[in-house]
Amino acid sequence: MIKNIDMVNALIARNSMKLVTAPAPSDEELAKALQAAVAAPDHGNLTPWRFKIIRGEGIQQFADLAFRIRQESDEPFTEDKLAASKAWLSEVPLIIALGCKMDYSNTKIPEDERIIATGCAVMNLMNALHLMGYGTFWSTGIATYFEEFQTAIGFDPLEYRFMGFLAVGTPKMPIPQKNRKSYTEFLID
């Protein structure tokens, strides 16, 4: 049995880090983190999680598409929000788009359980990257909920539930620590 309190303490200290820059994880590190992701609990062994790796010029294409769709929508960003979001993504060295494959032929296992399993896989991925010293930020902003965007990046809404994307890289500053509530506040008698 593995007992490592240092890893538990590292997980307790985990926090989202939006401001990341190069370098991103190496291919070997990313492969190990993705392998940790697919170790998530999965009722019925449906393996619903899907990941799309976006690097290099692909990030600019991803950003251009997302911002174009957002700005053409009924809810465009303000000029300040648009500029800040573009500046943020311009420094992100790795994006992992996240999806849940919806197998509608399987009526035994509820849709919610597939989404939960995918969320668990994403958390495993984030924790693995955190333990390797990288920062991650799970974004559901910009154009996540626009079907045109989902389809364009390969997550057809008839087949997948697009769940946003991870921005991954080296933290630009020490990861800030939150004052988290005690677990005792969430226990039910």
Residues annotated in a binding site for FMN: 14-16, 43, 138-140
Nearest-angstrom CA–CA distance, 61 and 44 = 36
Nearest partner of 111 among 119, 139, 144, 122, judged by Cα = 119
Rounded CA-CA distance 181/189 in Å is 18
Binding residues: 14-16, 43, 138-140
Beta pairing partners, 73: none
Say how many residues make up the chain. 189
Q: Virtual CA dihedral for 139, 86, 150, 49, nearest 10 degrees?
A: -40
d(CA 125, CA 134) in angstroms, rounded, equals 11
